[in-house]
C-alpha cells in the first residue's frame, strides 16, 4: 500500500484506535470508520485544491451520495493503523474516493469507497465534477476496493420493515455545512439493533445511500428488516426518505 500511495494521487495518516471508537463488543463502530474516512478526505481535498474553502469560494460544496465499507477484521483498542485514501478518475457528475485501512504489517483490514456530488450553494443544482480535477489519468488509482462498491439500494423490502426508533438532529450531530454529519449515520445503523442481536451478528459490509439532508431539530423515524444474512434500514423524515442502508453479516456472505 505504501508503494501504491507513492505512485498514485493519495494521502495517508496513522491513528491509534481510541476507546470511544469501538462498541460494547470491542468492534470498530461504523461511525468511527466513517469519521476516519471523512477526516482523511477533508485533508486531502484541501491538499489538491478542492477543499471546503476553495469550493465555497466558487459557491459549491461536496455532498456525499453513496458509501460502502468492508470489514476484513476490526482493529482493536490501541492498535496502530494507517488509513490511506485514493481518488479514482471522476466522471462528469461524480467524484470517487476510496479508502484502505492497514495494520502495522501492511495488511488491509478494512476498506471503503465513496461517491460524491458537487452542489451549487445558491440553487442546490448539481454541478459538473470532472472540470475540478486537472490530473492525468495515470495519477488516479485504477481499481475499486471491492466488488459493487457504492451500489444503489432498492426499496423492495420497505413493506417488511418495522419501526425501530425516533430521534432528532442535535447540535452535536451537525457539520460545518449546517447538515447532519455523515459519520453520525453510522451510529443510527448500530442503534437499530439490540445488544443481543449484535452479539451474534458481526458486520461484514455496509452500504449507505444518502438521499435527503437533515438539519438541526429535524425529527426522523428509523425502520429495519433483518435476517441472518442481511439487514436493511431506512430513516424517514415525514414523507422523505433520508437514507437507505444495507448490512451484510459475517459468515453469511
Provide the b/e sequence for 193-219 (b: ≥16 CB within 10 Å). Answer: beeeebeebebbbbbbbbeebbeeebe
> Is 113:99 a contact under the CB 8 Å cutoff?
yes
User: Dmax over Cα atoms in the chain, in whole Å?
Assistant: 50
Tell me the pLDDT band of 253, cut-offs 50, 70 and 90.
Answer: very low
The dihedrals phi and psi of 32, each to the nearest 5 degrees, come to -70, -45
Question: In whole angstroms, what is the distance from residue 250 CA to residue 101 CA?
Answer: 18
Q: What proportion of the chain, given as a percentage, has pLDDT over 70?
A: 98
Question: In whole angstroms, what is the distance from residue 103 CA to residue 4 CA?
Answer: 16
Q: What is the mean pLDDT of the chain?
A: 94
Q: What is the pLDDT of residues 50-79, one digit of tens each?
A: 998 999 999 999 999 999 999 999 999 999
Contacts of residue 220, defined as CB under 8 A and 6 or more positions apart, other chains included, come to 166, 167, 168, 169, 214, 235, 236, 237, 242
Q: What is the pLDDT of residues 110-131, one digit of tens each?
A: 999 999 999 999 998 999 998 8
Joined together, the cell numbers standing for residue 182 give 455523515
Does residue 47 have a pLDDT over 90?
yes
- Higher pLDDT residue, 3 or 108? 108
What is the number of other CB atoms lying within 10 angstroms of the CB of residue 105? Answer: 6
Sign for the CA dihedral angle at 238, 243, 246, 247 comes to negative
Amino acid at each position: 500500500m505504501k508503494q501504491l500511495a507513492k505512485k498514485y494521487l493519495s494521502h495517508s495518516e496513522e491513528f491509534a484506535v481510541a476507546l470511544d471508537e469501538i462498541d460494547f463488543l470491542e468492534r470498530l463502530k461504523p461511525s468511527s470508520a466513517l469519521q476516519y474516512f471523512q477526516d482523511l478526505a477533508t485533508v486531502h481535498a484541501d491538499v489538491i485544491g478542492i477543499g471546503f474553502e476553495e469550493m465555497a469560494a466558487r459557491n459549491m460544496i461536496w455532498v456525499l451520495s453513496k458509501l460502502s465499507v468492508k470489514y476484513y477484521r476490526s482493529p482493536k483498542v490501541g492498535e496502530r493503523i494507517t488509513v490511506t485514501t485514493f481518488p479514482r478518475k471522476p466522471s462528469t457528475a461524480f467524484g470517487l474516493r476510496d479508502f484502505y485501512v492497514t495494520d502495522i504489517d501492511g495488511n488491509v483490514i478494512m476498506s471503503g469507497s465513496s461517491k460524491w456530488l458537487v452542489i451549487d450553494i445558491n440553487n442546490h443544482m448539481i454541478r459538473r465534477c470532472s472540470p475540478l480535477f486537472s490530473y492525468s489519468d495515470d495519477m488516479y488509482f485504477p481499481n475499486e476496493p471491492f466488488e459493487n462498491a457504492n451500489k444503489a439500494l432498492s426499496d423492495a423490502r420497505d413493506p417488511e420493515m418495522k419501526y425501530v426508533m425516533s430521534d432528532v438532529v442535535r447540535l452535536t450531530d451537525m457539520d460545518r455545512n449546517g447538515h447532519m454529519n455523515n459519520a453520525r449515520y453510522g451510529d443510527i445503523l448500530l442503534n437499530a439493533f439490540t445488544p443481543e442481536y449484535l452479539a451474534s451478528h458481526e458486520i461484514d459490509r455496509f452500504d449507505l445511500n444518502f438521499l435527503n439532508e437533515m438539519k438541526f431539530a429535524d425529527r426522523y423515524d428509523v425502520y429495519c428488516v433483518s435476517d441472518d444474512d442481511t439487514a436493511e434500514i431506512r430513516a424517514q423524515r415525514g414523507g422523505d426518505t433520508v437514507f437507505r442502508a444495507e448490512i451484510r453479516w459475517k459468515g453469511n456472505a
